[in-house]
Amino acid sequence: MKQKVLIVDDEKEIRDAIEIYLRGTDIEVFKAENGIEALEILGKEEVQLIVLDVMMPKLDGIRTCLKIRETKNIPIIMLSAKTEDVDKILGLNVGADDYVTKPFNPLELVARIKSQLRRYLVLGDGEISSDEIKIDGLEISREKNRVVVDGEDVSLTPLEFKILLLLAENPGRVFSIKQIYENVWGEPFYKSENTVTVHIRRIREKIEINPKEPKYIKVVWGIGYKMDK
């Protein structure tokens, strides 16, 4: 069965060049010239990896990545002509798995695509079984509503447990405060942001060695919260 890769770039030459270098592999290529087209393709096809340009008209790569991370954990490799560190950090903080600057070596990009596909298809999206999630020293049991950190049981309230589970089940995905509230409380967001922020702070106090330098629940400034893969 062929693996499906989506190439999203507003430059046709780049889309075509990447496709040429992927020919002869077990990869089927889909192409889009902006984020809106990419989301339409993702709604129809089960894609295993996305190569996503940052600077695009209509819907740029950063906003497209955030939109994809609302529902999918597939690997995303971001492309950008900019080399500033802030661009790289921003790309990774919105849930990208890798980052390549233009101009790039096509063979290197193909190698990174294959590496990410192996990780995703062979290892999966983190260490998740039917009941348990394990992230470093953190263990979460869905069935028992149990949380263990470095071998010690941690007592969470039902809402705290739901927030932690939401983030742990979607490693790498950034959730806004509104998204966390509507997923966990099950109702439209109308309260102040402090409602979620206070719960996050309490969870950190219980599971983090140093809540001021969190290992598990990370803040993405101006966007929301996430747990790394």
pLDDT at 93: 62
Residue 127 pLDDT: 40
pLDDT over 70 at 8, yes or no: yes
pLDDT exceeds 90 at position 10: yes
Higher-scoring residue by pLDDT: 196, 228: 196
Which is higher by pLDDT, 80 or 130?
80
Distance CA 209, CA 188 (A): 33
Q: What mean pLDDT comes out for the span 59-83?
A: 84
SS3 at position 169: coil
Please give the full DSSP string across 52-83, using - where no structure is assigned.
EESS-SSS-HHHHHHHHTTT----EEEEES--
Mean pLDDT, residues 71-82: 83
Which residue type, as a one-letter code, is found at position 16? D
What pLDDT is stored for residue 90 in this prediction? Answer: 57
Q: What CA–CA distance (Å, rounded) separates 138 from 159? A: 18
pLDDT (mean) for 145-160: 89
**Which CATH entry fits the domain spanning 128-227: 2.40.50.180, 1.10.10.10, 1.20.1600.10, 3.40.50.880?**
1.10.10.10
CA dist 66 and 91 (Å) reads 10
pLDDT of residue 20: 93
Alpha carbon dihedral 73, 77, 80, 85, in 10-degree steps, equals: 80
Burial class (CB in 10 A: 0-12, 13-18, 19+), 90: buried
Are 50 and 96 in contact, with CB atoms under 8 Å apart?
A: no
- Average pLDDT of the chain is 84
How buried is residue 88: exposed, middle or buried, by Cβ count under 10 Å (0-12/13-18/19+)? middle
CB 106 within 8 A of CB 113: no
Asked whether the predicted pLDDT for residue 133 surpasses 90, the reply is no
Among 20-34, 88-102, 192-206, the least confident range: 88-102
pLDDT at 31 over 70: yes
pLDDT tens string 188-205: 877 667 889 999 999 999
Of 156, 147, 142, 110, which is closest to residue 7 (Cα–Cα)? 110
The whole-number pLDDT of residue 104 equals 87
Which CATH number does 3-123 carry? 3.40.50.2300
On the question of pLDDT at 125 being above 50, the answer is no
What is the spatial distance between Cα 60 and Cα 66, in angstroms, rounded to a whole number? 10
Question: What are the respective helix, strand and coil percentages of the chain, to the nearest 5?
Answer: 40, 25, 40
Domain ranges of the chain: 3-123, 128-227
> So what's the pLDDT on residue 9?
95
